[in-house]
């Protein structure tokens, strides 16, 4: 592994490398969005090239689709795949029940659709993303552009009755303009600091007119793989309650790093 990678990138790579070992020939695979998921796509592409692994990849954003094609993965739509064997994605936060906050990369809508259309969702991450209570990372809420300020006001009104520590909301920007998702929507980030009842907020936010989806992934994740900068990984399976510790071996001449040069 190149020495100039940061400890966080080394941890992300370790988790990604271990996660792609779960992929078997002929699988239909959901591919997440973000820096950690990008490591997974590169590792998966390496298996496709080296082993002739056959699979169909369903991306959760145009960024992921572009990268997947670059590394040789057969990209199809969710409608073409219909149902997925597994989805591998990152997360902005996760708790001990493997509930998540996602959407820091702006792809929460497609990510949630793809994850729930899968037999198994696996999250790859590093230890810094684990929290006792969700909410330190701003909760993304995707809203349609029409009347977005009204939707935001309704969200702020709702938060007055919710068990949260903070209630500030901000429109996500791309420079001086609103950030626009692949679906042409805006994102309002909720700075809640601590969420007392994530399940409740996930349900009620989606009842607000103009809200398309929120970044709380409740009872969706089946397994989390936590990577370390030394190649060690911890694998937690919420379904059987198991925790396993393993070591991922990687060398500086791994093809994945040559592809990045």
pLDDT confidence of residue 261: 46
- Asked if 111 is an active-site residue, the reply is yes
Nearest 5°: the CA angle 82, 84, 88 is: 140
As annotated, the binding site includes 33-36, 89-92, 102-105, 129
pLDDT in tens, 19-54: 999 999 999 999 999 999 999 999 999 999 999 999
Q: Among the options 93, 111, 142, 213, which is catalytic?
A: 111
pLDDT confidence of residue 239: 96
pLDDT confidence of residue 163: 97
pLDDT reading at 181 higher than 60? yes
- Domains, the chain, in order of start with CATH, read 7-130+219-260 (3.40.50.1360), 139-214 (3.30.70.260)
As annotated, the binding site for substrate includes 33-36, 89-92, 102-105, 129
Q: Look at the alpha carbons of 228, 256, 181, 85 in this order and tell me if their dihedral is positive or negative.
A: negative
Quick check: helix, strand or coil at residue 148?
helix
């Amino acid at each position: 592994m190149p020495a100039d990678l940061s400890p966080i990138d080394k941890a992300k790579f370790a988790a990604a490398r271990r996660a792609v070992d779960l992929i078997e020939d002929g699988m239909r695979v959901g591919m997440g969005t973000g820096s950690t998921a990008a490591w997974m796509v590169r590792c998966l592409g390496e298996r496709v090239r080296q082993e002739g692994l056959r699979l169909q990849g369903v991306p959760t954003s145009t960024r992921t689709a572009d990268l997947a094609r670059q590394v040789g993965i057969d990209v199809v739509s969710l409608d073409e795949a219909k149902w997925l064997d597994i989805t591998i994605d990152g997360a902005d936060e996760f708790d001990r029940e493997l509930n998540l906050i996602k959407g820091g990369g702006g792809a929460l809508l497609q990510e949630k659709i793809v994850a729930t259309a899968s037999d198994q969702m696996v999250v790859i991450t590093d230890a810094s993303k684990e929290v006792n209570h969700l909410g330190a990372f701003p909760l993304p809420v995707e809203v349609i552009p029409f009347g977005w300020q009204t939707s935001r006001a309704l969200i702020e009104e709702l938060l007055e009755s919710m068990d949260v520590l903070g209630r500030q909301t901000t429109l996500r920007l791309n420079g001086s303009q609103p950030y626009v998702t692949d679906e042409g929507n805006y994102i309002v980030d909720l700075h809640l600091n601590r969420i007392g009842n994530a399940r409740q907020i996930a349900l009620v936010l989606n009842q607000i007119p103009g809200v398309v989806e929120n970044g709380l992934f409740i009872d969706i994740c089946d397994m989390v793989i936590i990577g370390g900068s030394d190649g060690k990984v911890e694998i937690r399976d919420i379904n059987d309650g198991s925790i396993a510790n393993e070591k991922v071996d990687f060398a500086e001449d791994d093809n994945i790093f040559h592809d990045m040069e």
